[in-house]
Amino acid sequence: MKQALIAVDIQNDFCPGGSLAVADGDKIIAPANRLIKLFEQKGYPVFFTRDWHPADHSSFNENGGAWPPHCVAGTQGALFHKDLIVPERSFVISKAVEKNSEAYSGFQGTDLSVRLRSLGINDLVVIGLATDYCVKSTVMDAIQEGFAVTVISDAVGAVNVQPDDGEKAMLEMQKAGAKTAASSDFVI
């Protein structure tokens, strides 16, 4: 099985100090970087998804949405975390780029599936933020698209609007067919 790593939305606004921060979201950087290096060494593709919203995005409170403004295209908050390794040969997938497109999933409104299939990928390893929103949506869409998926439990972090949302999301992904692993146990 040919694998790819999908790093979901490891952006400044989702890390401590950001406008929609995941508590301890930056703690996933070290295990994420370990996996990014591992995939790079093996010559396996690494994809980074990112929210890349227009300033008037429909998900923002001021426009009737559920969230504070975040990840506005071209702003500091939309950039990948400064400590995250983003290799030159990696792929960046921008999502939710249209005003009225929510797009929690890296597959929604993007060419991610086409790119993966063109590379012969059938097995995905998923890391990122936030477990209970964009990670879960990306994993569920990947499974629906027919990809095998492994979620790295110590390289994801949840918003936890409700205290157990991240835990529930992990269970939902497993029930749908995703496997889980720890970054320290992961080898290609």
Would you please indicate which residues are annotated as catalytic (active-site) residues? 9, 95, 134
- Largest interatomic CA distance in the chain: 45
Q: How far is CA 126 from the centre of its chain?
A: 7
Please say whether the beta carbons of 160 and 131 come within 8 A.
no
Q: Would you call 56 helix, strand, or coil by DSSP?
A: coil
CA-closest candidate to residue 155, choices 180, 119, 124: 180
- Side-chain-side CA neighbours of residue 38 (13 Å): 16
Cα(38)–Cα(84) distance, integer angstroms: 14
